[in-house]
Chain A
Amino acid sequence: MHREARAANYVFVSFLIISLTLLSLPLAGPVRAFKACATYLLNPFAYYGDKGFERFASIPSRLRELISADMDNRSMQERVKQDQWIRAEAESLRTENARLRAALGLKAPGGRAALWAHVLERDPLRWYRSITVDAGSEQGVSLNSPVLGNAGGGLVAIGRITEGRTKTAVVLLATDELSSVAAYLVSPATATESGSAPPPSFEGLLQGQGKARLRMNYLSPDAEVHKGDLVFTSPTSATFPPDVLLGKVAEVFALDPFLAFQSVEIQPALEASRLKEVMILKQAPPTAARVAEMVGAASAEDAGDEEAAP
């Protein structure tokens, strides 16, 4: 302990002398040299200290920038997701627009007014049997109104209205088992030659089977039917306008010797699963000329009666 105290005293005195010497000779060459040397040695403290401080000082701002960038990133990701959704929606609308534009170019068969309606509902259990559309009695849809679809820029028959509600209606598809349509069958070559309304070749009755394909019965046993022959609605059809495409022959069954007719299987021109919009044909309101004609006829009839009276 004494030794340590003595050493401390020696050190104290030494440092005291050194300090006082330095203090006493502030401008002397050795002191300035010492200070320059010490400054040179201690300079890294200030230099690297300042560098380190700059780095540490920039941490909060960088952290703030990082957090801000992260928030921006999240926001942008949300916007990208929304944009993707909007793009998909726009694409869907564009497709629908193109489809509707094509549909607008279609003309309803004569004497009828066309009403376009969207498919609202399709029962998976009754996929080939019926659909529900968003047009009802308020729009003038009546029972047994024919329903057409758009396939490849042309109209095809797909069914008829069997249940009319205020704003919706149920369409019984031609593929339903209860559905039957008077139709005629014609080969594509004949149809091309004679234009859009080919002459009837082989009449028959198109009946639904509750599945994707239809069956055409009561064809003459002598009829020459081939795969790919086209089937149109017959002028004798009570529901559909004549010459509307129904489908094409998909399979010709072998002639049954016990039956007096032959049958073929028909591929519908428009599959039920592809239906999005349908054209409902409703009775067109009478025009002014038609009204005048009807009034004139009634007047003439009255005059005839008067003449015959005496």
Chain B
Amino acid sequence: MSQYARLLTVFLVAMVGQWWWSSHGAIYGVAPQLLLVLTIAVAARQGPLCAMVMGFFWGLFLDVMAARLVGANALALTLAAYGTGSMRRQVDLLGLAPQCLMVASLTLVYFMFMGLMGLVFLHSFMWVGWMSFLVDPFYNSFVALLVYVLWESWMEPAR
């Protein structure tokens, strides 16, 4: 299976995974931002271009699924992909710890960004709640760990 086919598979499976996790796998209403984690992982490994394409469409998927701002998630994930892809020139993001750290910090940024988007375009701060805000960075880091392991075992042979 070529690398593009693998990436396409990741793209589709990730959407189903995000949908399932947020619909059926949430614990006390807290579900990880799998697509954000994957966008960062792709950006760290494949570069910003690929990550932005995937992140943008994943964001659109999230926007379409949500009833509120259309384009906010697409913009957020595009920015995350671009930022991570740009940062990898200065920081080695291929390791597990940098990726987890990046995921944790960008999760907080993502929440704040979404809130600001709401404030700007809907005139109300879209607050995710303290529970998600405090737990999700760790939850996403844990998911980043899983993603890292899976990526190493499944995607790396294709490199």
Given the known interface contacts A23-B72, A42-B64, the answer about A8 and B20 at a Cβ–Cβ threshold of 8 Å is no
B49: chain A residues at CB < 8 Å are 4, 7-8, 11
A11: chain B residues at CB < 8 Å are 49, 52-53
Give residues of chain B (13-45) contacting chain A, Cβ–Cβ below 8 Å. Answer: 15-16, 19-20, 23-24
The answer, yes or no, to whether B117 is at the interface (CB within 8 Å) is: yes
A45 to B18, CA, bound (A): 10
Are the CB atoms of B71 and A12 closer together than 8 Å? no
Which of B's residues lie within 8 Å of A, judged by CB? 15-16, 19-20, 23-24, 47-49, 52-53, 56, 59-61, 63-65, 69-72, 74-75, 78, 82, 85, 117, 121
Chain B residue at minimum C-beta to C-beta distance from A11: B52
The answer, yes or no, to whether A259 is at the interface (CB within 8 Å) is: no
Task: Give the interface SS of chain B, mostly helix, strand, loop or mixed.
Answer: helix
**Interface size of A by Cβ–Cβ distance < 8 Å?**
28
Chain A CB within 10 Å — which of B16, B20, B47, B71 has the most? B71
25 residue pairs bridging A and B, Cβ less than 8 Å apart: A4-B49, A7-B49, A8-B47, A8-B52, A11-B53, A12-B48, A12-B52, A15-B52, A15-B75, A15-B78, A18-B56, A18-B71, A19-B71, A19-B78, A20-B71, A22-B63, A22-B74, A24-B121, A35-B70, A38-B60, A39-B64, A42-B64, A45-B61, A49-B23, A57-B24
B52: chain A residues at CB < 8 Å are 8, 11-12, 15
Are the CB atoms of B69 and A23 closer together than 8 Å? yes
Give residues of chain A (20-43) contacting chain B, Cβ–Cβ below 8 Å. Answer: 20-24, 26, 31, 34-35, 38-39, 42
Are the CB atoms of B75 and A35 closer together than 8 Å? no
The answer, yes or no, to whether A46 is at the interface (CB within 8 Å) is: yes
Least Cβ distance of A135 to chain B in Å?
78
A95 to B71, CA, bound (A): 89
Which of A's residues lie within 8 Å of B, judged by CB? 4, 7-8, 11-12, 15-16, 18-24, 26, 31, 34-35, 38-39, 42, 45-46, 49-50, 52-53, 57
Task: Give the interface SS of chain A, mostly helix, strand, loop or mixed.
Answer: helix
B64: chain A residues at CB < 8 Å are 35, 38-39, 42
A24: chain B residues at CB < 8 Å are 121
> Which listed residue (A22, A23, A31, A42) contacts B61, Cβ 8 A?
A42
Are the CB atoms of B74 and A19 closer together than 8 Å? yes
Chain B CB within 10 Å — which of A24, A45, A57 has the most? A45
**Known pairs A19-B72, A49-B20. 12 more at Cβ < 8 A?**
A11-B53, A15-B56, A15-B74, A18-B71, A19-B56, A19-B71, A23-B69, A23-B71, A35-B70, A45-B19, A49-B16, A49-B23
Are the CB atoms of A12 and B70 closer together than 8 Å? no
